[in-house]
Structure 1
């Protein structure tokens, strides 16, 4: 059953809705497996072998055969070659076409990547509503990157009504799977008290997880918490350490967000 994009208006109903959503999707997240594993059709298997050895032209040939035969995984991998210009001329429209074929069969990875193309307007007309629908379909299957993407649309109010509570819900589901940008975003929501009750200890927890994996924005925010003793003991040495790590990883004050936060 699909999860609605919008929460009920009453607070009680909204809490029940959010709890049901989390339980439902968390179960699917635990069950989410790599569907490229197991028995594979020969064309797809050979394509994956060629891709692994960077023989991209041969990979494209094998994927093309399997994709035309309707294999959703081959369609997904062929789309990736077109998106990256590997073994074929780069063609984002062709990438979107094959992602669409795969996504229509319910393949979460393709749904997520096609959602990203719609959000960015690459190979297709920019359409945040379509992006949200695709992210949701993949997110409900437990796909962490799609959960982050959907959460970010709720955070920004693109394609869906702005809802920091739902943003936090989807970020949490992705963060629990180790998704670094989601861990940072969730930490920031706790730090700011947006969509969740302000909780500096929770902010420090999620920011630390992202910071330890190299997210420069999380490193800077964690340094700020240490600087002011928010959620952690005040510790100027720790603050300076995290500020330095942030700069070493490319942090620029008031600069554009790094590409890593695209998901």
Structure 2
């Protein structure tokens, strides 16, 4: 028997997210009801599941429309997702300038992911004039809000002394916090620090966690880096990284 919800039984965002983790198809119907009832979280979630084809037929153009509806209602993550769609060409022609506009709006409203994504465009000059100082400020603000990926990048700026004074101790602290926050690049960065300090077992532990969570691009670059590591125990992990890269590359969701 299919799952049914009356309009007055619309669930909130946390309930919808929990249901999505347990039963995508069942959750998709509840999310659709919530979205049509004007629930902003439901509209944003509908965009997400349409984008990914999670419990519902994949439709990136329709996902873009629902993100737009939720964003116009004030949903910041939906605004950020409009940026993602425009950056990557999901449901539309890729347009970095439009992506930057959406990211900037989300960033100015205080969304950590908006700050991070806007900083990425500022740092690379995509869709906006390159501005490393502003990028650094956005990464720092997001990092201080607890955004793990921004923590890692802030650590890199501080380690290299790019557009800020060199501060190796602060860099290590941000790498550690990024690693503990679950960012695979942060885990890799922190492992490198630990390896340089001779803490090989601790470094291996973080490298294995980065291996489990890393994406294709990261795994490819990381495997090359590990193959040149000084410590043989770490060099051995290069094969595991390369193997995981191949496994992910042939999975349907990564084609």
Q: What's the TM-score once normalised by structure 2's chain length?
A: 0.70
SS in 2 for 1:82: helix
* Higher RCO by CA contacts (8 Å cutoff, separation 6 or greater): 1
Structure 2: gaps spanning 5 or more residues: 1-6, 212-221, 227-240, 249-255
CA distance in 1: counterparts of 2:41 and 2:180, whole angstroms: 33
Match status 1:96 vs 2:64: yes
| Superimposed CA distance per residue, residues 160-217 of structure 1 (whole angstroms, 9 cap, x where no aligned partner) | 1111111111111111122111000000011112222222122112112112344443
Change (3 A) 1:201 1:89: same
CA distance in 2: counterparts of 1:86 and 1:211, whole angstroms: 28
Q: Is the 8 A contact 2:143 2:151 kept in 1?
A: yes
Deviation at 1:109, TM superposition (A): 1.1
Match in the other structure for 2:163: 195
Q: Is the 8 A contact 2:148 2:186 kept in 1?
A: no
Q: What's the TM-score once normalised by structure 1's chain length?
A: 0.69
Q: Is the 8 A contact 1:47 1:59 kept in 2?
A: no
CA distance in 2: counterparts of 1:225 and 1:50, whole angstroms: 40
| Superimposed CA distance per residue, residues 56-107 of structure 1 (whole angstroms, 9 cap, x where no aligned partner) | 4454344434434544332212112212223321111111110011112221
Match in the other structure for 2:11: 45
SS in 1 for 2:11: helix
Structure 1: gaps spanning 5 or more residues: 1-40, 229-234
Q: Is the 8 A contact 2:12 2:41 kept in 1?
A: no
Match in the other structure for 1:245: 205
Q: Is the 8 A contact 1:50 1:58 kept in 2?
A: no
Q: CA RMSD in A?
A: 2.9
Match in the other structure for 1:123: 91
Q: Is the 8 A contact 1:47 1:62 kept in 2?
A: no
CA distance in 2: counterparts of 1:196 and 1:102, whole angstroms: 38
Q: Which has the higher helix share?
A: 2
